[in-house]
Amino acid sequence: MLEAVNLSKSFYYGLFQRNKNDAVKNVSFKIKKGETLCLLGESGCGKTTAGMMIAGLIKPTSGMVLYRKENIFKYRPKELKKFRTRLQIIFQDPDTVLNPRWIIEKSLSEPLRIHGLANGKESRDRIMELIETVGLSHEHLNRYPFELSGGQLQRIILARALLLKPDFIVADEPTSSLDVSVQAQILTIFKELQKKFQLSCLFITHDLHVARCIADRIAVMYKGTMLEEGNAEDIFSNPVHPYTRGLLDSLIIPDPEAVHPLDSNIPITSDRNYTGCKYKELCDYREQICEEKEPVLKK
Amino acid sequence: MSKKIFPKNRLLIFGLFLLTLLIMVSLLASYVAPFDPNYVEVENRLNRPGGKNILGTDGYGRDIFSRIVFGARFSLSLAVLVVLINLCIGVFIGTASGFFGGAVDELTMRLVDILLAFPNIIFALLVIGILGPSIPNLVFALVALGWTNYARITRGLVLSLKEQDFIISIKAIGGGDFYIITRHVIPSIIPFLVVLATLNMGHMIMSIAALSFLGLGVQIPTPEWGSMLSEGKQFIFTHPHVIISPGLAIIIAVFAFNLLGDGLRDVLDPRTKEIIKT
Protein backbone atom coordinates (compact mmCIF):
# COMPACT_ATOMS: atom_id res chain seq x y z
CA MET A 1 0.00 0.00 0.00
CA LEU A 2 2.74 2.42 0.95
CA GLU A 3 6.35 1.93 0.17
CA ALA A 4 9.50 3.88 0.89
CA VAL A 5 12.27 3.28 -1.61
CA ASN A 6 15.83 4.26 -0.72
CA LEU A 7 14.61 7.36 1.04
CA SER A 8 17.40 9.81 1.87
CA LYS A 9 17.42 13.35 3.20
CA SER A 10 20.48 15.48 3.71
CA PHE A 11 20.44 18.88 5.31
CA TYR A 12 23.04 21.39 4.26
CA TYR A 13 24.14 24.09 6.63
CA GLY A 14 26.94 26.46 7.47
CA LEU A 15 28.79 28.98 5.33
CA PHE A 16 28.12 28.29 1.63
CA GLN A 17 26.22 25.14 2.68
CA ARG A 18 29.48 23.30 3.06
CA ASN A 19 28.39 21.02 5.86
CA LYS A 20 26.15 18.10 5.20
CA ASN A 21 24.08 16.11 7.62
CA ASP A 22 22.52 12.88 6.43
CA ALA A 23 19.39 12.85 8.55
CA VAL A 24 18.00 9.81 6.75
CA LYS A 25 20.02 7.51 4.52
CA ASN A 26 18.70 4.81 2.22
CA VAL A 27 15.66 3.84 4.21
CA SER A 28 13.27 1.39 2.55
CA PHE A 29 10.18 -0.33 3.86
CA LYS A 30 6.74 -1.50 2.81
CA ILE A 31 3.51 -1.20 4.70
CA LYS A 32 0.53 -3.38 3.78
CA LYS A 33 -3.11 -2.51 4.28
CA GLY A 34 -4.16 -2.54 7.92
CA GLU A 35 -0.60 -3.08 9.09
CA THR A 36 1.37 -1.06 11.62
CA LEU A 37 5.05 -0.53 11.10
CA CYS A 38 6.81 0.88 14.09
CA LEU A 39 9.83 3.06 13.43
CA LEU A 40 11.91 2.66 16.53
CA GLY A 41 14.97 4.66 17.42
CA GLU A 42 16.61 7.11 19.79
CA SER A 43 16.34 10.90 19.63
CA GLY A 44 17.86 12.41 16.52
CA CYS A 45 18.06 9.16 14.58
CA GLY A 46 16.00 10.60 11.73
CA LYS A 47 12.71 8.88 12.40
CA THR A 48 10.67 12.10 12.44
CA THR A 49 12.30 13.25 9.18
CA ALA A 50 11.41 9.88 7.66
CA GLY A 51 7.81 10.31 8.82
CA MET A 52 7.59 13.82 7.39
CA MET A 53 8.81 12.53 4.04
CA ILE A 54 6.24 9.72 4.05
CA ALA A 55 3.58 12.37 4.70
CA GLY A 56 4.88 14.41 1.80
CA LEU A 57 5.80 17.39 3.99
CA ILE A 58 9.55 17.26 3.30
CA LYS A 59 11.02 16.53 -0.10
CA PRO A 60 13.61 13.74 0.02
CA THR A 61 17.09 14.37 -1.37
CA SER A 62 16.80 11.08 -3.20
CA GLY A 63 14.51 8.08 -3.24
CA MET A 64 10.75 8.05 -3.38
CA VAL A 65 7.56 7.32 -1.52
CA LEU A 66 5.06 5.15 -3.37
CA TYR A 67 1.43 5.32 -2.34
CA ARG A 68 -0.64 2.72 -4.17
CA LYS A 69 2.30 2.40 -6.57
CA GLU A 70 2.40 6.13 -7.36
CA ASN A 71 5.25 8.45 -6.38
CA ILE A 72 3.71 11.09 -4.13
CA PHE A 73 6.35 13.66 -5.03
CA LYS A 74 5.31 13.49 -8.67
CA TYR A 75 1.69 14.32 -7.89
CA ARG A 76 0.02 17.26 -9.58
CA PRO A 77 -1.50 19.79 -7.13
CA LYS A 78 -4.98 18.27 -7.48
CA GLU A 79 -3.72 14.76 -6.86
CA LEU A 80 -1.70 15.99 -3.93
CA LYS A 81 -4.78 17.55 -2.36
CA LYS A 82 -6.59 14.25 -2.81
CA PHE A 83 -3.64 12.41 -1.26
CA ARG A 84 -3.89 14.73 1.75
CA THR A 85 -7.29 13.25 2.49
CA ARG A 86 -5.93 9.69 2.27
CA LEU A 87 -2.98 10.14 4.57
CA GLN A 88 -3.05 11.97 7.88
CA ILE A 89 -0.26 12.83 10.27
CA ILE A 90 -0.47 13.05 14.05
CA PHE A 91 2.15 15.14 15.76
CA GLN A 92 3.99 14.65 18.97
CA ASP A 93 2.84 17.62 21.00
CA PRO A 94 -0.95 17.99 20.99
CA ASP A 95 -0.77 21.44 22.60
CA THR A 96 0.65 23.06 19.49
CA VAL A 97 -1.28 21.38 16.71
CA LEU A 98 -4.51 23.34 16.94
CA ASN A 99 -4.80 27.06 16.24
CA PRO A 100 -4.80 28.52 19.77
CA ARG A 101 -7.30 31.22 18.79
CA TRP A 102 -9.93 28.84 17.44
CA ILE A 103 -12.46 26.84 19.39
CA ILE A 104 -12.19 23.08 18.97
CA GLU A 105 -15.24 22.81 16.75
CA LYS A 106 -13.83 25.27 14.23
CA SER A 107 -10.53 23.38 14.09
CA LEU A 108 -12.35 20.08 13.75
CA SER A 109 -14.53 21.18 10.89
CA GLU A 110 -11.56 22.68 9.06
CA PRO A 111 -10.56 19.57 7.05
CA LEU A 112 -14.12 19.25 5.79
CA ARG A 113 -14.20 22.93 4.84
CA ILE A 114 -10.86 22.80 3.04
CA HIS A 115 -11.96 19.86 0.93
CA GLY A 116 -15.54 21.07 0.55
CA LEU A 117 -16.80 17.70 1.74
CA ALA A 118 -19.51 18.64 4.16
CA ASN A 119 -20.92 21.68 5.85
CA GLY A 120 -23.61 22.75 8.26
CA LYS A 121 -25.50 19.92 9.88
CA GLU A 122 -23.76 17.14 7.99
CA SER A 123 -20.36 18.35 9.15
CA ARG A 124 -21.61 18.68 12.72
CA ASP A 125 -23.05 15.18 12.70
CA ARG A 126 -19.81 13.69 11.50
CA ILE A 127 -17.80 15.58 14.10
CA MET A 128 -20.20 14.47 16.84
CA GLU A 129 -19.93 10.86 15.78
CA LEU A 130 -16.13 10.90 15.83
CA ILE A 131 -15.86 12.90 19.01
CA GLU A 132 -17.91 10.23 20.78
CA THR A 133 -15.80 7.50 19.22
CA VAL A 134 -12.70 8.97 20.83
CA GLY A 135 -14.48 9.25 24.17
CA LEU A 136 -15.22 12.95 24.40
CA SER A 137 -18.54 14.80 24.32
CA HIS A 138 -20.07 17.80 22.60
CA GLU A 139 -19.26 20.08 25.53
CA HIS A 140 -15.59 19.96 24.55
CA LEU A 141 -16.36 21.48 21.18
CA ASN A 142 -16.84 25.02 22.40
CA ARG A 143 -13.61 25.17 24.37
CA TYR A 144 -10.28 26.63 23.39
CA PRO A 145 -7.25 24.34 23.09
CA PHE A 146 -5.63 25.68 26.27
CA GLU A 147 -8.71 24.70 28.25
CA LEU A 148 -8.23 21.01 27.49
CA SER A 149 -5.64 18.53 28.80
CA GLY A 150 -2.99 16.89 26.64
CA GLY A 151 -4.87 13.60 26.53
CA GLN A 152 -8.10 15.28 25.53
CA LEU A 153 -6.32 17.28 22.84
CA GLN A 154 -4.66 14.19 21.42
CA ARG A 155 -8.12 12.57 21.18
CA ILE A 156 -9.39 15.65 19.36
CA ILE A 157 -6.47 15.43 16.97
CA LEU A 158 -7.15 11.73 16.40
CA ALA A 159 -10.75 12.60 15.62
CA ARG A 160 -9.66 15.33 13.23
CA ALA A 161 -7.28 12.97 11.45
CA LEU A 162 -10.07 10.45 10.95
CA LEU A 163 -12.59 12.99 9.75
CA LEU A 164 -11.43 12.72 6.16
CA LYS A 165 -11.65 8.91 6.27
CA PRO A 166 -7.97 8.31 5.53
CA ASP A 167 -6.50 4.86 5.03
CA PHE A 168 -3.02 5.70 6.25
CA ILE A 169 -1.82 7.43 9.40
CA VAL A 170 1.65 8.67 10.20
CA ALA A 171 1.81 8.94 13.97
CA ASP A 172 4.89 10.82 15.13
CA GLU A 173 5.33 9.90 18.78
CA PRO A 174 1.67 10.64 19.54
CA THR A 175 1.98 9.54 23.15
CA SER A 176 5.41 10.70 24.22
CA SER A 177 4.27 14.04 25.67
CA LEU A 178 1.54 12.39 27.72
CA ASP A 179 1.87 10.75 31.09
CA VAL A 180 1.84 6.97 31.25
CA SER A 181 -1.77 6.36 32.26
CA VAL A 182 -3.03 8.65 29.51
CA GLN A 183 -0.62 7.04 27.05
CA ALA A 184 -2.32 3.70 27.60
CA GLN A 185 -5.76 5.22 27.00
CA ILE A 186 -4.70 6.88 23.78
CA LEU A 187 -3.00 3.74 22.52
CA THR A 188 -6.09 1.67 23.25
CA ILE A 189 -8.30 4.13 21.38
CA PHE A 190 -5.78 4.23 18.58
CA LYS A 191 -5.80 0.45 18.21
CA GLU A 192 -9.58 0.28 18.29
CA LEU A 193 -9.90 2.94 15.63
CA GLN A 194 -7.27 1.28 13.52
CA LYS A 195 -9.26 -1.95 13.52
CA LYS A 196 -12.54 -0.15 12.92
CA PHE A 197 -11.34 1.92 9.97
CA GLN A 198 -8.85 -0.59 8.52
CA LEU A 199 -5.99 1.89 8.86
CA SER A 200 -2.43 1.29 7.89
CA CYS A 201 0.00 3.10 10.08
CA LEU A 202 3.57 4.26 10.36
CA PHE A 203 4.07 4.64 14.06
CA ILE A 204 7.16 6.53 15.14
CA THR A 205 8.36 6.05 18.67
CA HIS A 206 11.38 5.76 20.92
CA ASP A 207 9.44 3.83 23.51
CA LEU A 208 9.84 0.05 23.43
CA HIS A 209 6.74 -0.53 25.52
CA VAL A 210 4.66 1.48 23.10
CA ALA A 211 6.20 -0.32 20.14
CA ARG A 212 5.46 -3.69 21.68
CA CYS A 213 1.87 -2.70 22.31
CA ILE A 214 1.09 -1.38 18.84
CA ALA A 215 3.42 -2.78 16.22
CA ASP A 216 2.90 -5.57 13.73
CA ARG A 217 6.35 -5.03 12.38
CA ILE A 218 9.28 -3.03 13.71
CA ALA A 219 12.05 -1.17 11.95
CA VAL A 220 14.98 -0.04 14.07
CA MET A 221 16.76 3.15 13.05
CA TYR A 222 20.12 4.41 14.19
CA LYS A 223 21.91 7.56 13.01
CA GLY A 224 19.78 7.83 9.90
CA THR A 225 20.01 4.26 8.68
CA MET A 226 17.79 1.26 9.21
CA LEU A 227 19.51 -1.49 11.13
CA GLU A 228 16.90 -4.15 11.29
CA GLU A 229 13.37 -4.80 10.22
CA GLY A 230 11.02 -7.64 10.96
CA ASN A 231 7.91 -8.90 12.68
CA ALA A 232 7.41 -7.45 16.12
CA GLU A 233 7.58 -10.82 17.88
CA ASP A 234 10.73 -11.81 16.04
CA ILE A 235 12.45 -8.57 16.91
CA PHE A 236 11.51 -8.84 20.54
CA SER A 237 12.30 -12.53 20.90
CA ASN A 238 15.27 -12.78 18.60
CA PRO A 239 16.97 -9.46 17.83
CA VAL A 240 19.75 -9.82 15.31
CA HIS A 241 21.55 -6.48 15.44
CA PRO A 242 23.62 -5.76 18.54
CA TYR A 243 22.02 -2.30 18.84
CA THR A 244 18.55 -3.82 18.93
CA ARG A 245 19.73 -6.28 21.52
CA GLY A 246 21.12 -3.41 23.58
CA LEU A 247 17.84 -1.56 23.28
CA LEU A 248 15.85 -4.54 24.43
CA ASP A 249 18.21 -5.15 27.31
CA SER A 250 17.69 -1.59 28.44
CA LEU A 251 13.99 -2.23 28.97
CA ILE A 252 13.48 -1.71 32.64
CA ILE A 253 12.31 -4.91 34.24
CA PRO A 254 11.98 -5.39 38.00
CA ASP A 255 15.24 -7.29 38.41
CA PRO A 256 18.31 -5.14 39.03
CA GLU A 257 20.70 -7.98 38.17
CA ALA A 258 19.21 -8.35 34.71
CA VAL A 259 19.64 -4.81 33.49
CA HIS A 260 22.31 -4.25 30.85
CA PRO A 261 21.69 -0.78 29.51
CA LEU A 262 23.46 0.60 26.48
CA ASP A 263 26.67 2.36 27.34
CA SER A 264 25.49 5.90 27.85
CA ASN A 265 28.99 7.36 28.18
CA ILE A 266 29.44 7.66 24.46
CA PRO A 267 27.81 10.86 23.25
CA ILE A 268 25.39 10.85 20.36
CA THR A 269 27.42 12.42 17.61
CA SER A 270 25.85 14.53 14.97
CA ASP A 271 28.79 13.79 12.72
CA ARG A 272 27.53 11.17 10.33
CA ASN A 273 30.21 11.49 7.74
CA TYR A 274 32.67 8.83 8.79
CA THR A 275 33.38 5.61 7.04
CA GLY A 276 32.39 2.19 8.18
CA CYS A 277 29.62 1.03 10.44
CA LYS A 278 27.73 3.67 12.39
CA TYR A 279 27.41 1.47 15.40
CA LYS A 280 31.05 0.49 15.69
CA GLU A 281 31.82 2.60 18.76
CA LEU A 282 29.22 0.86 20.85
CA CYS A 283 29.39 -2.59 19.36
CA ASP A 284 30.69 -5.64 21.22
CA TYR A 285 31.31 -7.52 18.00
CA ARG A 286 33.61 -5.04 16.36
CA GLU A 287 36.01 -6.36 13.72
CA GLN A 288 38.42 -4.85 11.26
CA ILE A 289 35.79 -4.71 8.51
CA CYS A 290 33.58 -2.44 10.64
CA GLU A 291 36.09 0.37 10.17
CA GLU A 292 36.06 0.08 6.40
CA LYS A 293 32.64 -0.88 5.09
CA GLU A 294 29.17 0.14 6.01
CA PRO A 295 26.90 -2.88 6.32
CA VAL A 296 23.82 -3.09 4.10
CA LEU A 297 20.48 -4.32 5.35
CA LYS A 298 19.48 -7.48 3.49
CA LYS A 299 16.00 -8.86 3.27
CA MET B 1 -13.13 38.42 27.45
CA SER B 2 -12.95 42.15 26.88
CA LYS B 3 -15.13 42.88 29.88
CA LYS B 4 -12.65 41.16 32.16
CA ILE B 5 -9.53 42.68 30.71
CA PHE B 6 -10.29 46.32 30.17
CA PRO B 7 -11.11 47.51 33.68
CA LYS B 8 -7.71 46.25 34.84
CA ASN B 9 -5.87 48.65 32.65
CA ARG B 10 -6.54 52.26 33.62
CA LEU B 11 -3.99 53.76 31.25
CA LEU B 12 -5.60 51.99 28.35
CA ILE B 13 -9.00 53.35 29.39
CA PHE B 14 -7.60 56.84 29.68
CA GLY B 15 -5.92 56.62 26.28
CA LEU B 16 -9.11 55.28 24.76
CA PHE B 17 -11.09 58.11 26.37
CA LEU B 18 -8.71 60.79 25.06
CA LEU B 19 -8.73 59.29 21.63
CA THR B 20 -12.49 58.97 21.45
CA LEU B 21 -12.70 62.60 22.48
CA LEU B 22 -10.28 63.62 19.72
CA ILE B 23 -12.11 61.61 17.11
CA MET B 24 -15.51 62.96 18.18
CA VAL B 25 -14.18 66.51 18.08
CA SER B 26 -12.71 66.08 14.63
CA LEU B 27 -15.84 64.42 13.27
CA LEU B 28 -18.17 67.01 14.76
CA ALA B 29 -15.79 69.92 14.18
CA SER B 30 -18.41 72.20 12.63
CA TYR B 31 -20.66 71.78 15.71
CA VAL B 32 -17.92 72.01 18.32
CA ALA B 33 -16.06 75.02 16.91
CA PRO B 34 -17.68 78.31 17.93
CA PHE B 35 -16.27 80.25 14.94
CA ASP B 36 -15.28 79.77 11.32
CA PRO B 37 -11.59 78.69 11.56
CA ASN B 38 -10.64 80.85 8.60
CA TYR B 39 -12.63 83.97 9.48
CA VAL B 40 -10.19 86.84 9.73
CA GLU B 41 -11.05 89.62 12.18
CA VAL B 42 -8.11 91.99 12.22
CA GLU B 43 -9.38 94.20 15.05
CA ASN B 44 -9.38 91.12 17.33
CA ARG B 45 -5.87 89.93 16.51
CA LEU B 46 -3.73 88.29 19.23
CA ASN B 47 -6.46 88.30 21.86
CA ARG B 48 -5.43 86.65 25.10
CA PRO B 49 -7.20 83.38 26.03
CA GLY B 50 -10.49 83.80 27.87
CA GLY B 51 -13.52 85.83 27.05
CA LYS B 52 -15.17 85.38 23.68
CA ASN B 53 -12.26 83.34 22.25
CA ILE B 54 -11.51 80.53 24.71
CA LEU B 55 -7.93 80.07 23.57
CA GLY B 56 -7.51 83.58 22.15
CA THR B 57 -6.89 84.58 18.55
CA ASP B 58 -3.87 84.38 16.29
CA GLY B 59 -1.99 86.97 14.26
CA TYR B 60 -4.88 87.39 11.81
CA GLY B 61 -7.59 87.46 14.45
CA ARG B 62 -8.76 83.91 13.81
CA ASP B 63 -10.17 81.89 16.73
CA ILE B 64 -7.44 79.46 17.87
CA PHE B 65 -9.84 76.99 19.51
CA SER B 66 -11.83 76.65 16.28
CA ARG B 67 -8.63 76.16 14.31
CA ILE B 68 -7.39 73.45 16.66
CA VAL B 69 -10.74 71.67 16.43
CA PHE B 70 -10.66 71.71 12.63
CA GLY B 71 -6.94 70.94 12.65
CA ALA B 72 -7.65 67.67 14.48
CA ARG B 73 -9.37 66.53 11.30
CA PHE B 74 -6.29 66.98 9.18
CA SER B 75 -3.75 65.74 11.67
CA LEU B 76 -5.68 62.62 12.63
CA SER B 77 -6.99 61.64 9.21
CA LEU B 78 -3.64 62.14 7.52
CA ALA B 79 -1.88 60.09 10.19
CA VAL B 80 -4.49 57.34 9.95
CA LEU B 81 -4.20 57.32 6.17
CA VAL B 82 -0.43 57.09 6.19
CA VAL B 83 -0.39 54.37 8.84
CA LEU B 84 -3.02 52.31 7.01
CA ILE B 85 -1.18 52.50 3.70
CA ASN B 86 2.08 51.58 5.42
CA LEU B 87 0.39 48.71 7.19
CA CYS B 88 -1.12 47.28 4.01
CA ILE B 89 2.08 47.49 1.97
CA GLY B 90 4.22 46.27 4.84
CA VAL B 91 2.01 43.31 5.73
CA PHE B 92 1.70 42.25 2.10
CA ILE B 93 5.43 42.36 1.43
CA GLY B 94 6.39 41.03 4.87
CA THR B 95 4.04 38.06 4.64
CA ALA B 96 5.12 37.20 1.12
CA SER B 97 8.82 37.27 1.92
CA GLY B 98 8.44 35.53 5.28
CA PHE B 99 6.19 32.78 4.04
CA PHE B 100 7.75 31.97 0.70
CA GLY B 101 11.37 32.95 1.43
CA GLY B 102 13.93 32.49 -1.31
CA ALA B 103 14.94 35.16 -3.78
CA VAL B 104 11.88 37.38 -3.17
CA ASP B 105 12.74 37.45 0.50
CA GLU B 106 16.40 38.31 -0.10
CA LEU B 107 15.54 41.08 -2.54
CA THR B 108 12.87 42.80 -0.47
CA MET B 109 14.84 42.54 2.74
CA ARG B 110 17.95 44.09 1.20
CA LEU B 111 15.74 46.90 -0.14
CA VAL B 112 14.36 47.36 3.35
CA ASP B 113 17.89 47.46 4.73
CA ILE B 114 18.83 50.21 2.29
CA LEU B 115 15.70 52.25 2.99
CA LEU B 116 16.14 51.92 6.73
CA ALA B 117 19.56 53.53 6.42
CA PHE B 118 17.86 56.89 5.69
CA PRO B 119 16.57 58.99 8.57
CA ASN B 120 12.80 59.23 8.16
CA ILE B 121 12.33 62.98 8.20
CA ILE B 122 15.34 63.74 6.02
CA PHE B 123 14.11 61.31 3.40
CA ALA B 124 10.65 62.91 3.51
CA LEU B 125 12.26 66.35 3.09
CA LEU B 126 14.11 65.05 0.07
CA VAL B 127 11.03 63.56 -1.56
CA ILE B 128 8.92 66.68 -0.99
CA GLY B 129 11.81 68.85 -2.10
CA ILE B 130 11.78 67.05 -5.42
CA LEU B 131 8.03 66.64 -5.88
CA GLY B 132 6.88 69.93 -4.37
CA PRO B 133 4.80 70.48 -1.23
CA SER B 134 1.24 69.16 -1.30
CA ILE B 135 -0.86 66.76 0.76
CA PRO B 136 -0.55 63.78 -1.66
CA ASN B 137 3.20 64.28 -1.80
CA LEU B 138 3.33 64.44 2.00
CA VAL B 139 1.54 61.10 2.21
CA PHE B 140 3.83 59.63 -0.42
CA ALA B 141 6.94 60.88 1.35
CA LEU B 142 5.88 59.25 4.61
CA VAL B 143 4.84 56.00 2.94
CA ALA B 144 8.03 55.66 0.92
CA LEU B 145 9.94 54.74 4.07
CA GLY B 146 7.16 53.96 6.52
CA TRP B 147 6.21 50.52 5.19
CA THR B 148 9.68 49.07 5.81
CA ASN B 149 9.16 48.78 9.54
CA TYR B 150 5.92 46.87 9.12
CA ALA B 151 7.40 44.62 6.44
CA ARG B 152 10.31 43.68 8.62
CA ILE B 153 8.26 42.97 11.73
CA THR B 154 5.60 41.06 9.78
CA ARG B 155 8.28 38.93 8.15
CA GLY B 156 9.75 38.04 11.52
CA LEU B 157 6.36 37.09 12.92
CA VAL B 158 5.48 35.01 9.86
CA LEU B 159 8.83 33.23 9.91
CA SER B 160 8.35 32.03 13.45
CA LEU B 161 4.71 31.19 12.84
CA LYS B 162 5.17 29.06 9.75
CA GLU B 163 7.36 26.58 11.59
CA GLN B 164 4.68 25.93 14.18
CA ASP B 165 2.90 22.60 14.26
CA PHE B 166 -0.54 24.01 13.71
CA ILE B 167 0.47 25.57 10.41
CA ILE B 168 2.30 22.42 9.29
CA SER B 169 -0.66 20.28 10.29
CA ILE B 170 -2.98 22.34 8.10
CA LYS B 171 -0.60 21.82 5.23
CA ALA B 172 -0.82 18.09 5.93
CA ILE B 173 -4.62 18.28 5.90
CA GLY B 174 -4.47 19.87 2.47
CA GLY B 175 -4.83 23.61 3.05
CA GLY B 176 -3.16 25.65 0.33
CA ASP B 177 -0.73 28.53 0.88
CA PHE B 178 -3.38 31.19 0.28
CA TYR B 179 -5.77 29.50 2.70
CA ILE B 180 -3.08 29.20 5.37
CA ILE B 181 -2.00 32.83 5.00
CA THR B 182 -5.46 34.37 5.05
CA ARG B 183 -7.06 32.14 7.69
CA HIS B 184 -4.21 31.37 10.05
CA VAL B 185 -1.11 33.49 9.54
CA ILE B 186 -2.62 36.97 9.20
CA PRO B 187 -5.26 36.56 11.94
CA SER B 188 -2.53 35.37 14.29
CA ILE B 189 -0.34 38.42 13.76
CA ILE B 190 -3.10 41.03 13.79
CA PRO B 191 -2.81 41.74 17.53
CA PHE B 192 0.86 42.58 17.14
CA LEU B 193 0.15 44.78 14.14
CA VAL B 194 -2.59 46.67 15.97
CA VAL B 195 -0.15 47.55 18.74
CA LEU B 196 2.54 48.51 16.27
CA ALA B 197 0.18 50.68 14.23
CA THR B 198 -1.20 52.43 17.31
CA LEU B 199 2.25 53.28 18.62
CA ASN B 200 3.23 54.38 15.15
CA MET B 201 0.25 56.76 14.97
CA GLY B 202 1.79 59.10 17.50
CA HIS B 203 5.00 59.10 15.55
CA MET B 204 3.16 59.91 12.32
CA ILE B 205 1.24 62.81 13.90
CA MET B 206 4.59 64.26 14.94
CA SER B 207 6.12 63.76 11.50
CA ILE B 208 3.17 65.37 9.74
CA ALA B 209 3.21 68.30 12.14
CA ALA B 210 6.96 68.68 11.71
CA LEU B 211 6.75 68.68 7.91
CA SER B 212 3.85 71.14 8.00
CA PHE B 213 5.82 73.34 10.37
CA LEU B 214 8.61 73.42 7.81
CA GLY B 215 6.04 74.40 5.19
CA LEU B 216 6.31 71.10 3.36
CA GLY B 217 3.05 69.52 4.36
CA VAL B 218 -0.36 70.99 4.84
CA GLN B 219 -0.26 74.52 3.47
CA ILE B 220 -1.21 77.80 5.12
CA PRO B 221 -4.00 78.86 5.77
CA THR B 222 -5.49 75.37 6.16
CA PRO B 223 -5.94 74.79 9.90
CA GLU B 224 -3.44 72.10 10.84
CA TRP B 225 -1.48 71.86 14.07
CA GLY B 226 1.96 71.91 12.49
CA SER B 227 1.21 74.84 10.19
CA MET B 228 -0.40 76.71 13.11
CA LEU B 229 2.87 76.37 15.00
CA SER B 230 4.67 77.64 11.96
CA GLU B 231 2.43 80.68 11.63
CA GLY B 232 2.64 81.44 15.33
CA LYS B 233 6.39 81.15 15.73
CA GLN B 234 6.95 84.90 15.23
CA PHE B 235 4.82 85.61 18.33
CA ILE B 236 6.57 83.07 20.53
CA PHE B 237 7.95 85.70 22.94
CA THR B 238 5.21 88.32 22.80
CA HIS B 239 2.06 86.16 22.61
CA PRO B 240 3.06 82.59 23.52
CA HIS B 241 -0.58 81.41 23.69
CA VAL B 242 -0.68 81.37 19.87
CA ILE B 243 1.88 78.57 19.81
CA ILE B 244 1.23 76.81 23.11
CA SER B 245 -2.31 75.63 22.28
CA PRO B 246 -1.55 73.79 19.01
CA GLY B 247 1.60 72.40 20.62
CA LEU B 248 -0.45 71.02 23.49
CA ALA B 249 -2.93 69.55 21.01
CA ILE B 250 -0.11 67.61 19.35
CA ILE B 251 1.21 66.41 22.69
CA ILE B 252 -2.23 65.24 23.82
CA ALA B 253 -2.87 63.36 20.57
CA VAL B 254 0.51 61.62 20.62
CA PHE B 255 0.11 60.86 24.31
CA ALA B 256 -3.32 59.32 23.70
CA PHE B 257 -2.02 57.00 20.99
CA ASN B 258 0.98 55.96 23.03
CA LEU B 259 -1.17 55.18 26.06
CA LEU B 260 -3.50 53.15 23.90
CA GLY B 261 -0.63 51.31 22.21
CA ASP B 262 1.07 50.47 25.50
CA GLY B 263 -2.21 49.39 27.03
CA LEU B 264 -3.08 47.21 24.04
CA ARG B 265 0.33 45.62 24.17
CA ASP B 266 -0.20 44.63 27.77
CA VAL B 267 -3.65 43.27 27.01
CA LEU B 268 -2.66 41.35 23.90
CA ASP B 269 0.58 39.95 25.24
CA PRO B 270 -0.15 36.25 25.70
CA ARG B 271 1.71 36.12 28.97
CA THR B 272 -0.33 38.79 30.69
CA LYS B 273 -3.44 37.47 28.96
CA GLU B 274 -3.20 34.12 30.68
CA ILE B 275 -2.87 35.76 34.07
CA ILE B 276 -5.82 38.03 33.56
CA LYS B 277 -8.03 35.28 32.19
CA THR B 278 -7.63 32.86 35.05
Distance CA B204, CA A103 (A): 37
Which residue of B1, B165, B275 to mutate against A (max A Cβ within 10 Å)? B165
Is residue A7 domain-resident? yes
Q: What is the pLDDT of residue B41?
A: 77
Q: What is the pLDDT of residue A272?
A: 54
Over 70: is that where the pLDDT of B269 sits?
no
The closest CB to that of A97, out of B169, B176, B187, belongs to: B169
CB atoms within 10 A of CB A113: 16
A51 CB burial (10 A radius; 0-12, 13-18, 19+)? buried
Contacts of A131 (CB under 8 A, 6+ apart): A108, A137, A138, A140, A141, A156, A159
User: What is the number of domains present in chain A?
Assistant: 1
Per residue in B235-260, pLDDT (tens digit) is 888 888 888 888 999 999 999 999 88
Summary mean pLDDT of chain B: 85
Asked if B177 is an interface residue toward chain A (Cβ–Cβ < 8 A), one would say no
Is residue A267 domain-resident? yes
Give the residue-averaged pLDDT of B256-268.
Answer: 84
Distance CA A274, CA A20 (A): 12
Q: For chain B, list the domains and their CATH numbers.
A: 54-277 (1.10.3720.10)
Digit-by-digit pLDDT tens for chain A (299 residues) are: 888 888 888 888 877 777 778 888 888 999 998 899 999 888 888 888 999 999 988 889 999 999 988 899 988 988 999 999 999 999 888 888 898 888 898 999 899 988 888 777 888 888 998 898 888 888 889 888 988 888 899 999 989 998 888 999 999 988 888 888 888 888 888 888 888 888 999 999 988 888 888 889 999 988 888 888 888 888 888 888 888 888 887 776 666 565 555 555 555 555 555 677 777 777 777 777 777 777 777 76
- Look at B166 and A97 and tell me if their CB atoms are within 8 Å: yes
Is residue A298 domain-resident? no
% of chain B exceeding 90 in pLDDT = 27
Is residue A297 domain-resident? no
Provide the residue range defining the domain that includes A84: 2-292
**Contacting residues of B for A57, CB less than 8 Å apart:** 168, 171-172
Q: What is the pLDDT of residue B181?
A: 93
Per residue in B95-144, pLDDT (tens digit) is 999 999 888 899 999 999 998 888 888 888 889 989 988 888 999 999 98
Chain pair A-B, CB pairs under 8 angstroms: 46
Asked if B20 is an interface residue toward chain A (Cβ–Cβ < 8 A), one would say no
Is residue A219 domain-resident? yes
Reduced to 3 states (helix: H, G, I; strand: E, B; else coil), residue A19 is strand
CATH at residue A161: 3.40.50.300
Q: What is the pLDDT of residue B276?
A: 43
- Look at A91 and B169 and tell me if their CB atoms are within 8 Å: yes
Is residue A261 domain-resident? yes
Q: What is the pLDDT of residue B227?
A: 86
Distance CA B244, CA A174 (A): 66
Q: What is the pLDDT of residue B84?
A: 95
Yes or no: say if A49 and A24 are a contact pair by the CB < 8 Å rule.
Answer: yes
